[in-house]
Every structure is written in C-alpha cells, then in structure tokens.
Amino acid sequence: MKFWMVWRYLRDGRKYLGLTFILSVVGVALGVASLVIAMAVVSGYETTLRESVINMQGHLMVLRRGGVEGEEDRSTAENKIVELAPDLKAMTPFVVVEGLIVHKKKLSGIVLEGVDPGSVQQVLEFKRTLSRGRLDFQSKNEIPNALIGKGISSKFGIQPGDEFKLVIPITRSRSDEGFKPKMQKFMAVGVLDLGRTDFDERFIVTDLKTAQEFGELGGRISGWRLKLNDFRGADALARKIEESMGFPYWTRSWLEANRNLFQAVKYERAVIFVIVLLMIVAAAFNVSSTLFLSVVRRYSQISIMKAMGVSSRFIRQIFTRQGLIIGFLGAVLGLIWGWGGCQVFLWAEKKWGLFPGEVYKLDHVDLEIRFLDVTLILVCTMFICYLATLAPARRGAKLLPVEGLRYE
C-alpha cells in the first residue's frame, strides 16, 4: 500500500508538480554524472601515471653506489635479492649513462639506459610501449641499435632507420681544455610511447653491452629492476632489502620515486569529490522543495487519511520514500549520463589532446570507472536525498486533520 501511495503521488496529475519532480530527478542526475566523470578522470590519471612509471622503472630498483662490478659480486647480490623477495616475478640488470643527443644542429640532455635483451621484456614490457618500428637490439653493422622516446623522435625528427649521435664526458681522460667528450652513432630502430612526457623526451634504450662499452664501464652495472606479483608490496620489500643488504646498496620503489606526485593526486581526488558532491547537495534542496510542495498540495488528502486513523509514521514514510525514489532515479540516470560523458571525454581527448604533457606529465589519460567510486557515489546520493526528505516528511506527518479539512 505504501508503494502504491508513493507512486500515486509521484504521478500527480498537476503539470506543475510533475515538472518539479522531473527537474528534481534531472538535478540529482547531473550531479551524479559530474561526479562519475570527475572520479573517472582522476582515477584514470592515477592509473595511467602509475603504469607509465612501472613500465619504465619496474616495481622496484636495487642499486649499488659506484655500481656492481665483477660476476661474483653480481651473482651474490642477485641470489640475496631472490632470497629476500618471495613475491619476485622477474628481475633484469641495467646501467645508466647520462649524456647529450646531437642531431640536425640540435642537442638535448638524455639518459641512455642499457638493458639485458634476454630478461628486460619480463620486467619493462617494451613490446607494449613500442609505437613504431621494431624491438631489436641486435645490430647488423657497427652502428648499435637503440629505442628512443616519442618526444625525442618528435623534437629531433628522428624516425626508425635514422642515425643520431650521443655525446658523453669521459672523466678519466683529460685534454688540455678539460674533460674529453666521447661520441657514438646509434641507429633508431623503434619509437617508444612511455606514457610520460618527461620519459619520452629523455630516455634512449640500448643493449647492456653497448651502453657499458660506450660509457667505458667494463662489466659494471648500475643495479637491477624488479617486477613483483603485487606492485603494492614494493615499498615494504624495498625497506627489507635495504636493511638486509646494507650499505652501499640502496633501493627505490616506484611509489617512492614519485611519492609527492601520487600524494598530490590523492589529495586532489578527495577535494574534487567533495566539491562536485556539492552539486548533489544543491540538487537535494530541489528534492526537498518538491516534497514540501507535495505536502502543501495534499493537505486535504493527508487530513482525510489521518482522520481515518493512518499513523504519522505512515505519512512520514510516504514522503521519505518519495524522496528516495527521486534520488534513486537520479542516481541511475546520472550513472548512465556519466558513462556516456566518459566516452565523449575520451573521444575529445583523443581528437584534441586535453592534457598538455608539460603540465600533467602525461600526454593522454585512460579513464577508469571504479566500482568503489560508483558505490560511494550512490551511497552519498541516497543519503543526501534521504536527509532532504526529513523536513517535508515531518511537516506532513505533523499535520492535524482539522487543519487540512478547514477549507474543504
């Protein structure tokens, strides 16, 4: 009976009341849709940022000050890492050499990373980030192969098959004029889309042996990149390895390397949620006014029901459920609009590029609608709409039968 009464009130014959009901639903739906889109953008940004960092750096780096020299030291350290990391999925050695890229009268600072072709794919997944060219570190001539970031490709006009030069200072050899530079030609065989502008504009990847020879490092490596079964355990494992292996070894997890950035995203997420939630709060005032209007229009009907013995609690539940139905319909409609808005956003982002890489570090964002976010939005929406029903429901329940029938 209660549901029938609520539905009858919602389908009121008066056009004005019907219009206010529709506007109330639309108001809630717009607030929910805005919140869904906002949370999808922030969640997508966080996920895209995390994936770009992990794809380039791995879950965890284990490094040694001065590098790791000699097969014995390297083997001992690797065995220790395997022993300390039960969640380890794969690991690969790497070496880093900083220098300059010189091409067509342009130059820029770069980071040349030497990787082990046999194990790097298990950790960094270059096949996933390769946008053009091929993944091939085996050169057919004297010029070594290299993969370049798409930012370098765009800035210097380097395409797969083009040659370019790298220059590094060799501190051991001094000329009369200062440090002696060393130059090496490389062949670009592929272009990587690493997901972050600062990575794309700086990183060049070649095989481990080539980087060691170019940097005159002998058999030295900088350290290892690790991939875990669960990326969330990287911080704890980093502390464990550092405490166990001690100086001169040190570690850096994917989160530690970008802690400030991810912390900022976390705070922005909370602030955006609260600010956009205010739209639903504003829509709730419209729900409340609709219910107040419903109470005023039905003074006589409420009075008749109370004169027939209907309890105040029953009357209160009618208007409370009416408000909850408005909130539910608005929430469902808002979720549909929000999903549609996300598709439009993705289309616009792909067509016009809504995220300047210099500002947001990323040149694109994959939106992500999380179940937890949707659940939180629905719960908050229904709770706010419930609060909006309390005052008009109480007003209707307190109505005296004689008051409503006085002018009938």
Domain end among 234, 253, 272: 253
Cis status, amide bond into 248, omega within 30 of 0: yes
Identify the sign of the CA torsion 225, 227, 232, 236: negative
In a shared domain, residues 199 and 237: yes
Considering the domain architecture, whether residues 144 and 168 belong to the same structural domain is answered as: yes
**Same domain membership, residue 321 and residue 226:** no
pLDDT reported for residue 368: 86
Residues near 192 by beta carbon (within 8 Å), at least 6 away in sequence: 126, 129, 130, 131, 147, 148, 149, 150, 200, 203, 205
Does 323 lie in the same domain as 303? yes
Residue type, position 47, single letter: T
- The phi, psi pair for 224, rounded to 5°, reads -130, 145
Q: Do 10 and 66 belong together in one domain?
A: no
Answer yes or no: do 279 and 377 share one domain: yes
Which positions ≥6 away from 267 have C-beta within 8 Å?
none
pLDDT of 8 reads 55
Question: Rounded to an integer, what distance in angstroms lies between the CA atom of residue 211 and that of residue 220?
Answer: 10
The domain boundary, picked from 253, 273, 298, lies at 253
> Residue 186 carries which side chain, given as an amino acid letter?
F
Q: What is the pLDDT of residue 146?
A: 92
- Same structural domain for residues 119 and 157? yes
Residues 83, 197: one domain? yes
Query: H or E stretch including 88?
Result: strand 88-103
Structurally, how many domains does the chain consist of? 2
Report the C-alpha gap between 36 and 374 in whole angstroms.
7
Tens-level pLDDT at each residue, the chain (408 residues): 555 554 555 455 454 456 777 888 888 999 999 999 999 988 888 888 888 888 888 889 998 888 888 777 888 888 888 888 888 888 999 999 999 998 888 888 999 999 988 888 888 888 888 888 888 888 788 889 999 988 898 888 999 988 899 998 876 544 455 567 888 999 999 998 887 787 888 899 999 999 988 888 888 888 899 999 888 888 888 888 888 888 888 888 888 877 888 888 888 888 989 888 888 888 888 888 877 777 766 666 666 666 666 677 777 777 788 888 888 999 999 999 999 998 988 888 777 666 665 555 666 777 888 899 899 999 999 999 888 888 877 776 676 665 555 545
Q: What is the C-alpha to C-alpha distance for residues 362 and 366, in angstroms, rounded to an integer?
A: 10
Which of 209, 229, 253 is a domain's end point? 253
Cα angle, residue 283 at apex, residues 331 and 393 outer, rounded to 5°: 90
For residues 33 and 310, what is the distance between their CA atoms, to the nearest angstrom?
A: 39
Residue 360 is part of which domain span?
2-52+261-405
Cα 257 to Cα 50, 153, 210, 261: the distances in Å are 11, 26, 27, 9
Report the C-alpha gap between 43 and 93 in whole angstroms: 32
How much is the pLDDT for 10?
47
Residue with tokens 């570690």: 251
Nearest to 188 by CA among 209, 166, 169: 166
- Encoding tokens for residue 324? 């909850």
Considering the domain architecture, whether residues 99 and 211 belong to the same structural domain is answered as yes
What per-residue string of b and e applies to 230-253 under the rule 16 or more CB within 10 Å gives b? ebebbbebbeebbeebeeebbbbb
Q: Please give the pLDDT value at position 304.
A: 66
Residues 328 and 397 in one domain: yes
**Structure tokens, 240:** 């464990």
Residues 231 and 83 in one domain: yes
What residue has token string 């794969």? Answer: 90
- 223 in the same domain as 278: no
Under 8 Å between Cβ of 90 and 118: no
